[in-house]
Structure 1
Amino acid sequence: MKRRVKMVDVARAAHVSKTTVSLVLNQIPGVRIAEDTRQRVLRVARELGYEPGPALHQIDPDRKRLYGVLINEISAAYPINLIEGMQIWADAQGVQIVIQVTGGILDHEAAALENFARFGVDGVIYARTFTAIVEPPARLDAFRHVFLNCRRADGVGVAVLPAERSGGTLATDHLIGRGRKRIATITGDPWQLAAKERLEGYHRALARAGLPRDGAFEAIGDWGHESGFAATKQLLELPDPPDAIFCQNDIMARGALAALRAHGRSVPADVAVIGYDDREFAKSLEPTLTSVTLPHVEMAERAIQYLAAGTPSGDRTISVRGELVLRQSSGG
Structure 2
Amino acid sequence: MAENKGHGGRGRPTMMDVAAMAGVSQATVSLVLNGSPGAKLTDTTRRRVLDAAQKLGYQFVRRGSRSAPGGQSTIVFIADEVTTDPWMALAFEGARDKALEFGINICLELSHGDADMETAVVNQMGELPTLGFIYGTILTRLVELPPALASDRTVLVNCYDAQRAYPSVLPGDLLGGRTATERLLQAGRKRIGFINGQHGVDAARDRLKGYKQALASNDIPFDADLVRPGNWEPTAGYEMTHELMAMDNPPDAIFCANDMMALGCYEALAELGLKVPDDVAVIGFDDREISQHMHPPLTTLILPHYEMGQIAAELLIDGAGGLYAKPNRIKVECELVERQSVERSPS
Q: Which residue in 2 is equivalent to 1:71?
A: 79
Post-superposition Cα deviations, 1:139-176, rounded to whole Å, max 9, x if no partner, equal 11245111111101232221100011010000001001
Structure 2 residue ranges without an equivalent (≥5): 1-14, 31-38, 43-69
Structure 2 SS opposite 1:302: helix
Structure 1 distance, partners of 2:25, 2:250, is 42
Post-superposition Cα deviations, 1:62-92, rounded to whole Å, max 9, x if no partner, equal 9551111111011032122111111211222
Q: Which residue in 2 is equivalent to 1:267?
A: 276
Q: Which residue in 2 is equivalent to 1:280?
A: 289
Q: How far 1:112 sits from its partner (Å)?
A: 1.0
User: Percent sequence identity over matched residues?
Assistant: 38
TM-score with structure 2 length normalisation?
A: 0.78
Quick check: 1:124–1:143 contact (8 Å CA) kept in 2? no
1:1-332 alignment runs, 5 A limit = 11=19, 15-16=23-24, 18=26, 63-75=71-83, 76-142=85-151, 144-310=153-319, 312-331=324-343
Structure 2 distance, partners of 1:13, 1:180, is 37
Counterpart of 2:252 in structure 1: which amino acid? D
Quick check: 2:238–2:267 contact (8 Å CA) kept in 1? yes
Number of equivalenced pairs:
291
Structure 1 distance, partners of 2:234, 2:72, is 46
Q: How far 1:181 sits from its partner (Å)?
A: 1.3
Quick check: 1:69–1:125 contact (8 Å CA) kept in 2? yes
Quick check: 1:72–1:103 contact (8 Å CA) kept in 2? yes
Quick check: 1:19–1:83 contact (8 Å CA) kept in 2? no
Post-superposition Cα deviations, 1:6-35, rounded to whole Å, max 9, x if no partner, equal x99x9589724627988xxxxxxxxxxxxx
Structure 2 SS opposite 1:99: strand
Quick check: 1:151–1:159 contact (8 Å CA) kept in 2? yes
Give me the CA root mean square deviation.
2.4
Structure 2 distance, partners of 1:47, 1:13, is 17
Structure 1 distance, partners of 2:76, 2:266, is 42
TM-score with structure 1 length normalisation?
A: 0.82
Structure 2 SS opposite 1:167: helix
Structure 2 distance, partners of 1:286, 1:302, is 35
**Cα distance change, pair 272–113 in 1 and its aligned pair in 2 (3 A):** same
Quick check: 2:180–2:283 contact (8 Å CA) kept in 1? yes
